Structure 1
Amino acid sequence: MAITASSTTALDVPSLVSQLMAVERQPIDKLTAKIASYETKISSFGTLSSLVSGFQTASAGMNTSLLKLTATPSDASVLSATASSTAVPGSYSVNVSQLAQSQNLVAAGQTSSTAAIGDGSATTVTFDLGTIDPNTLGGGTLVDGIYSGAIFTSNGSGTASITIDSSNNTLEGIRDAINAAGLGVNATIVNDGSGTPYRLALSSSNSGVSNSFKITTSGGDGSINSLLGYDPEGTQNLTQTLAAQNANLTVNGIAITSASNTVSEAIQGVTLTLKNTTSTPASLTVARDTSAIKTAASSFVDAYNALASQIKSRSAYGSITQEAGSLAGDGTLRLMQDQLRGIFMTPASGGSLTTLSQVGISIQKDGSLLLDGSKLDTAVSTNFADVSNLFSSSTGYATRLEDWAKSALEPGGLIDNRTKSLTQYIKDQNEAVDKLENRMSALEKKYIAEYTNLNLLLSRMNSTSTYLTQQLASSQSE
Structure 2
Amino acid sequence: MATSSVSASSSSGNLLDVQSLVSQLMAVERQPIDKLNAKISTDQTKISSFGTISGLVSSFQTALKSIMSGLQNLSATPSDASVFSAAAASTAVPGTYTLNVSQLAQSQNLVAAGQASSTTAIGNGTATTVTFDFGTISGGTLSAGTYSGATFTSNGSGTKSITIDGTNNTLQGIRDAINAANMGVSATIVNDGSGTPYRLSLTSSNPGVSNSLKITTSGGDGTINNLLAYDPAGTQNLNQSVAAQNANLTVNGIAITSASNTVTGAIQGVTLTLKNLTTAPTTLTVAHDTAAVATAVSSFVDTYNGLYSQLKSRSAYGSSGSSGSSGGSLAGDGTVRAMMDQLRSIFNSPATGTLTTLSQVGISFQADGSLKLDSSKLNSAMSANFSDVTNLFSSTTGYATRLDTWTTTVLQSGDGLIPNSIASLNTAISGYNDQISHLEVRMSTLQTQYTAQYSNLNALLSSMDSTSAYLAKQLG
Q: TM-score range by the shorter chain?
A: over 0.9
Q: For residues 372-429 of structure 1, what are the alpha-carbon distances to aligned partners after superposition, in whole Å with 9 as ceiling and x for unaligned? A: 1111111111111110000010111111111100111112111111111111111111
Tell me what 1:451 maps to.
Answer: 454
2:129 pairs with 119, 124, 137, which one?
A: 124
The alpha-carbon deviation at position 9 of structure 1 amounts to: 2.3
Partner of 2:33: 28
Cα deviation 1:187-221 (Å, max 9, x = unaligned): 01111111111100000111011111010111132
Gaps of 5+ in 1: 1-5, 474-478
- Within 1, Cα distance between the matches of 2:201 and 2:326? 77
**1:472 is aligned to 2:472:** no
**CA shift digits 1:29-80 (9 cap, x unpaired):** 1111011111111111111111111111110111111112211111111111
How far does residue 466 in structure 1 lie from its aligned partner after superposition? 0.9
1:232 equivalent to 2:237? Answer no
User: Which residue in 2 is equivalent to 1:370?
Assistant: 372
Partner of 2:277 in structure 1? Answer: 277
Q: 1:287 Cα shift?
A: 1.4
Partner residue, 1:101: 106
Structure 2 CA distance, aligned partners of 1:149 and 1:456?
A: 126
What residue number does 1:170 align with?
170
**Separation in structure 2 between the aligned mates of residue 153 and residue 463 of structure 1, nearest angstrom:** 126
Match of 1:415 among 414, 418, 421: 418
Residue 308 (structure 1) aligned with residue 311 (structure 2) = no
Show the counterpart of 1:432: 435
- What is the alpha-carbon distance in structure 2 between the residues aligned to residue 471 and residue 20 of structure 1? 40
Q: Where does residue 288 of structure 2 map in the other structure?
A: 288
* Distance (Å, rounded) in 2 between the aligned partners of 1:246 and 1:434: 80
How far apart in 1 are the matches of 2:343 and 2:81? 46
Q: Confirm whether residue 339 of structure 1 aligns to residue 342 of structure 2.
A: yes
Work out whether residues 313 and 325 of structure 1, in 8 Å CA contact, stay in contact via their aligned partners in 2.
Answer: yes
Query: Mean Cα displacement is larger for which, 167-176 or 67-76?
Result: 67-76
Rounded to whole Å, the distance in 2 between the matches of 1:19 and 1:82 is: 78
Which consecutive segments of 4 or more residues in structure 1 shift more than 3 A? none
CA contact (8 A) 1:8 1:462 kept: no
Percent identical across equivalent pairs? 71
- In 2, are the aligned partners of 1:104 and 1:202 still within 8 Å (CA)? yes
Per-residue Cα deviation, 1:136-195 (whole angstroms, up to 9, x for no partner): xxxx11111111111111111111111111111111111111001011001011111111
Number of equivalences: 462
Q: How does 1:198-277 map to 2 (within 5 A)?
A: 198-277=198-277
- Specify the code of the residue in structure 2 equivalent to 1:316: A
Deviations 1:212-239 (A, max 9, x none): 1010111132111111100111101000
Which residue of 1 is the match for residue 406 of structure 2?
A: 404
Q: Contact (CA 8 Å) 1:7, 1:465: kept in 2 or not?
A: no
Name the counterpart of 2:387.
Answer: 385
What's the secondary structure of 1:66's corresponding residue?
Answer: helix
Aligned: 1:65 with 2:70: yes
* Aligned twin of 2:465: 462
Aligned CA-pair RMSD = 1.2
2:157 — aligned with what?
157
Partner of 1:476: none
User: What TM-score, normalized to structure 1?
Assistant: 0.95
The amino acid of 2:222's aligned partner reads G
Q: Could you give the per-residue CA deviations for residues 88-116 of structure 1, whole angstroms, max 9, x where no partner exists?
A: 11110001111100000000011111111
Report the residue type matching 1:222 in the other structure. Answer: G
d(CA) in 1 for partners of 2:109, 2:248: 20
Secondary structure of 2:137's partner?
Answer: strand
- Give the SS at the match of 1:362: strand
Structure-2-length-normalised TM-score = 0.95
SS at match of 2:115: coil
Q: Which amino acid aligns with 1:272?
A: L
Counterpart-to-counterpart distance in 1, 2:220 and 2:281? 54
Task: For 2:227 and 2:371, locate their aligned partners in 1 and report how far apart those are by CA, in whole Å.
Answer: 73
Q: Which residue of 2 aligns with 1:145?
A: 145
Give 1:360's match in structure 2, choosing from 357, 362, 365: 362
Q: Measure, in 2, the Cα distance between the counterparts of 1:76 and 1:427.
A: 63
Question: Partners in 2 of 1:157 and 1:15 — Cα distance?
Answer: 94
**Alignment partner of 1:65: what SS?**
helix
Q: Offset at 1:7?
A: 6.0
More divergent stretch after superposition (142-151 vs 175-184): 142-151
Q: Distance in 2 between matches of 1:101 and 1:379?
A: 46
> Residue 48 of structure 1 corresponds to which residue in structure 2?
53
Q: Is the 8 A contact 1:73 1:282 kept in 2?
A: yes
